[in-house]
Amino acid sequence: MDIALAVIGGTGVYRLAALEDVQTRHFDTPYGAPSGPLRIGRLGGAQVAFLARHGEGHALPPHRVNYRANLHALQQAGGRRVLALNTVGGITEGYGPRVLACPDQIIDYTWGRESTYWDGEGEALHVDFGQPYSPALRTRVLAAAQAAGVAVVDGGCYGATQGPRLETNAEIARLRRDGCDLVGMTGMPEAGLARELGLDYACLAIVANWAAGCGDATEEITLAEVLDNVAAASAGLADLVAELARNG
């Protein structure tokens, strides 16, 4: 199957409502079951595959997502370019709630996750990861955003934490000192695994709230607030994805 674009949806993005002629496909992988079925349909005149990272009912917390199976299933379906939608917290100025950002760097603070396809046999997979997001696909994402009239911040560093709890003020202060602009729980090992499979991979980060101690984050972060901000930030997402699938 010729898949123009594969999309992985994060918290608050459990489907692509604009997909037409949707087919549901289930995949078995050598790494177990993915988070759910692939929904494959047409968007922008092109074939697009969608997978909800946490499951369509958000049953999987970040540390229990089978990232290896998810990416392998997308590759099995014919996906070669992956746009990851990641719901995140904002740390630095310019990355506040309801912002969309296309980061160009990532720092991995996760632990204990299956982070490689190497199974101990053969040559270890020492992939080049200096630029963790595919530069060419990032350029196409930004061009698609401009064509669709969707504001996207170009660049930034994503700090991937373990979760599922949110971070302490001190932890976010550390991430800020390390140079992180955004914080989320699903950026790794997903990006590294995509590189091992040879997939083009880029992230579109949806800022749902200020991270602890940042911006005007003086009150407890609620799920309702997060989902409201994700919905607002995602208003132009279908147009952006359609433009990327059609011309990317």
Q: What is the pLDDT of residues 27-52, one digit of tens each?
A: 999 999 999 999 999 998 899 999 99
Average pLDDT over residues 206-223: 83
**Which pTM does this prediction carry?**
0.94
- DSSP for 193-210 reads HHHHHT-EEEEEEEEEEE
CB 107 within 8 A of CB 180: yes
Take residue 168 and report the two structure tokens written for it.
Answer: 């302490």
If DSSP codes are grouped into helix, strand and coil, which group holds residue 146? helix
Least confident of 138-142, 159-163, 237-241: 237-241
The answer to whether 53 touches 70, Cβ cutoff 8 Å, is yes
Going from the C-alpha of 7 to that of each of 49, 74, 85, 166, the distances in angstroms are 6, 9, 7, 25
Q: Could you tell me what percentage of the chain is helix, strand and coil, using 3-state DSSP and rounding each to the nearest 5?
A: 25, 25, 50
User: Helices H, strands E: what count in the chain?
Assistant: 6, 11
Query: pLDDT tens across 168-197, in order?
Result: 999 999 999 999 999 999 999 999 999 999
**Mean pLDDT of all residues belonging to the chain:** 93
Q: Which position has the token pair 């170009």?
A: 154
Tell me the per-residue pLDDT of 72-101, one tens digit each, with 9 for 90 and over: 999 999 999 999 999 999 999 999 999 999
pLDDT in tens, 122-135: 777 789 999 999 99
Average pLDDT over residues 163-172: 96
Which pLDDT value is given to residue 132?
98
The answer to whether 137 and 202 have CB atoms below 8 angstroms apart is yes
Give me the pLDDT at residue 23, please: 94
Rounded Cα–Cα distance for residues 231 and 235 (Å): 6
C-alpha distances (whole Å) from 154 to each of 61, 79, 157, 188 are 28, 24, 11, 20
Q: Classify the phi-psi angles of 12: left when phi > 0, otherwise alpha if psi is within -120 to 50, otherwise beta.
A: left
CB atoms within 10 A of CB 19: 21
Residue among 132, 119, 195 nearest 160 (CA): 132
